[in-house]
Amino acid sequence: MKTKAKFIGIDVSKNTLDICIVSELQESFVIKNTKKEILKFFKTHLSKTSKDYVCIENTGKYSWLLMEVMPEFQCFFYVINPLHIKRSLGLVRGKNDKVDAIRIAQFIKKNNEESQSYIPLRNEIRLIQVLLSERRLRVNQKKQLATKNKENILLTNKKVAKFLTTKNNRLIKELKKQIKDIETQINQLISQDESLNKLTTQLKSVPGVGNILCWNIIVKTNEFKTITTPRKLACYSGVVPFSNSSGVSIFGNNRLSLYADKNLKTLLHMGALSAIRLENNLSLYYKRKVAEGKNKMSVLNAVRNKIIHIIFALVKNQTFYQNRLEVS
């Protein structure tokens, strides 16, 4: 006899998992966040005759074990943005791990049809994701030290200023070396994988798309498996403007959403700036629209959007970018 599906919410922390199972009854459990405990728990509690719904918040590396293990089970598994869950709850008061697990279970019970099931990352993509995170950390540290050097000029004691600047420059030099080493490691991973090698070559054929933007797009889209359309990626990266109006009292200009991946948005912006400096179709488009009197930042945002659409077209058609501009 087929049993009713269970809705399972999991609140993830470093050492433990708080789990709520909602079916005819509501049960709560706490287990250790280890592979052995996760396997043991779900082998016992998942239905044998129906596919259950399991949902977690995307909390970064503490969720990786669940992301690795859950695809082995016959269930619907969801990894949801924590802000999405928070905004869907309405007016709530108080929180703890047990309550959070209950709320996650209630969320997936109500929203399972609209939510996208988790598509596992290949091991190579996971490693590139980790390396890009480490690279971004070092880039930010290098920027902070460079800013400190500028502030040191204001010190009245020049001896101390020189001492601090020398120390900072040594750290900056070491960070530059580490950043280069990380990029070399990423290149090695890609060169050893045929599909990734081809994909990066396709993306980098687009004007303005360099290594860092290319790698980030591949990771964020999970090789174009999770984010499957240019409109979704444009929305995700904060490129698409949304209306800002209500009745007759509020009638503002269309604005870019604050709910965007700021890092990817910055990389796309830098890519667009690079593209319009080169001789290509995007550069011609930018110059033509600016000459027509369009706002430069609006046109630049349109270039960012065009880069995204070109990338998806290349991936869909399994081809490379062809610059149709004839340079005399």
Q: Domain spans of the chain?
A: 7-111, 123-192, 220-317
State if pTM tops 0.75: yes
- The CATH architecture one would assign to domain 7-111 is 2-Layer Sandwich (3.30)
CA 128 from chain centre, in angstroms, equals 13
Chain mean position to CA 45: 32
Segment 252-260 long-range contacts (CB within 8 Å, at least 24 positions apart): 256/301, 259/83, 260/235, 260/236
pLDDT of residue 251: 63
Please list the rounded mean pLDDT of every run of 10 residues in the chain (328 residues): 82 95 91 94 88 92 92 92 88 88 94 92 95 97 95 88 94 98 98 95 95 97 95 92 69 73 94 94 94 94 96 94 61
Cα torsion 274, 275, 278, 284: sign:
negative
DSSP reduced 3-state for 46: coil
Listed in order, strand segments (DSSP E) in the chain are: 7-12, 16-22, 26-32, 53-57, 76-80, 241-246, 250-256
Contact by Cβ (8 Å): 118, 205:
no
Torsion (CA) 162, 165, 170, 171 in degrees, nearest 10: 150
Please report the pLDDT score of residue 249 as a whole number: 62
